[in-house]
Structure 1
Amino acid sequence: MNWGNGIVLVFVVFVAIMATMVTICMRQDDLHLVTENYYEAEINYQQHIDRVSNSLESTDNAMRFDKGKKTLELNLPVGASGELHLFRPSDARLDRIIEVSIEENTNRFLNLSNLSPGYWRVKLSWASEELKYFEEIKIDI
């Protein structure tokens, strides 16, 4: 084999590998954006910053996760209401949204054992006494 044939062979193999990689990438159908309404969420980001600031000024954490029992404890005041977003970064099809309303001091635990094992972000946004709050924790089930 001479140099010319070797160079042509290297280019042909390179093109074949690149065509295979492009084909594999184009056939993937499980690509997920962080949010569907990206631009709308970007415009409302200042409100999110205000909610996080309100939450940081509070002395107590709103959520506590017990890894052994796989339960999430909500430490919200009576009368608080909001939304709990269980966010799975690797697969948006597993995301869940749960409405939260604290009307008494009992039953503040959520059982998370039915979630798929792996990394989750738990986002809690709530309102209490005309102030809005936001807190996020990262858990591993």
Structure 2
Amino acid sequence: MNWGTKLVIGMGLFMAFIITLAVLMIRSGSDDLVDKDYYQKGIEYDKDYDRKSQMQKDQAEPEISVGDSLRIVFNKPATGIVRILHPSDNKKDRIVSLNSGIANEVALPLNDIREGHWKLIIEWKSDEKEYMFEKNITID
């Protein structure tokens, strides 16, 4: 075999490799690094930032403890939602509404939530102000 034949075979193998990679990329289901509502989250980023800043400005960070239940203590009566997000499987995510009443405390049962790392996002309204708080928690 001369060098020209080896060059054509090498180019053919390289092209087959590139085509195989392209087919595998096209066949892959989804891109897990991008959220389904990526654009909506981008639009609402300023709103989330303002709510987090308001929480820090008013020193309204809730106290959180994890035991048999998820216990959240607010400074003032609050209403809103709690999102408990699993980092690797969005089918396990939970969204729960909350109303602390005059006790300023909410206890959420954790019996249907499995052990592991979770992201907790609390969005609430208190005294006509909106707040947002995020924290990574571990459920044992």
TM-score, length-scaled by structure 2: 0.72
> What is the alpha-carbon distance in structure 1 between the residues aligned to residue 114 and residue 18 of structure 2?
35
1:138 aligns with 2:136: yes
- Runs of 4 or more, structure 1, over 4 Å off, are 116-119
Distance change in 2, residues 1:16/1:94 (3 Å): farther
- 1:3-32 CA deviation, whole Å, 9 max, x = no partner? 223322322222222222222222222435
Q: Which residue in the other structure is 2:21 paired with?
A: 21
Aligned length: 138
Higher mean C-alpha displacement, 46-55 vs 92-101: 92-101
- Compared with structure 1, are the counterparts of its residues 79 and 92 closer, same or farther at alpha carbon in structure 2 (3 Å cutoff)? same
Residues 1:134 and 1:46: Cα distance change in structure 2 (over 3 Å): same
**Mean alpha-carbon deviation: is it higher for 78-87 or for 90-99?**
90-99
Measured in 2, the distance between the counterparts of 1:119 and 1:26 equals: 32
Question: AA paired with 2:39?
Answer: Y
Query: Identity over the aligned pairs, expressed in percent?
Result: 25
For residues 17 and 70 of structure 1, what CA distance do their matches in structure 2 show? 54
- Superposition RMSD in Å: 3.1
> 5+ residue gaps in structure 1?
none
What does residue 34 of structure 1 align with? 35
Structure 1: which amino acid aligns with 2:42?
Answer: E
Instruction: Specify whether residues 10 and 98 from structure 1 end up closer, same or farther in structure 2 by C-alpha distance, changes over 3 A only.
Output: farther
Q: Residues 140 and 3 of structure 1: is their aligned pair in 2 closer, same or farther, counting only changes over 3 Å? A: farther
What's 2:12 paired with? 12
Instruction: Please give the per-residue CA displacement for 1:62-116, whole angstroms capped at 9, x wherever unaligned.
Output: 25354xx475321224531111122344443333321111125387333446445
Counterparts of 1:60 and 1:50, CA distance in 2: 14
Determine the structure 1 residue equivalent to 2:46: 46
What letter is aligned with 2:62? A
| Per-residue CA distance 1:10-66 (angstroms, 9 max, x = gap) | 222222222222222222224354252624x43443322221111112446325354
Q: Which amino acid aligns with 1:21?
A: L
What TM-score do you get using the length of structure 1 for normalisation? 0.72
- Alpha carbons 2:76, 2:104 under 8 Å: kept: no
What secondary structure, in the 3-state scheme, does the structure 2 residue paired with 1:98 have? strand
- Ranges in structure 2 where 5+ consecutive residues have no aligned partner: none
Alignment match, 2:84: 86
Q: SS of the counterpart of 1:108?
A: strand
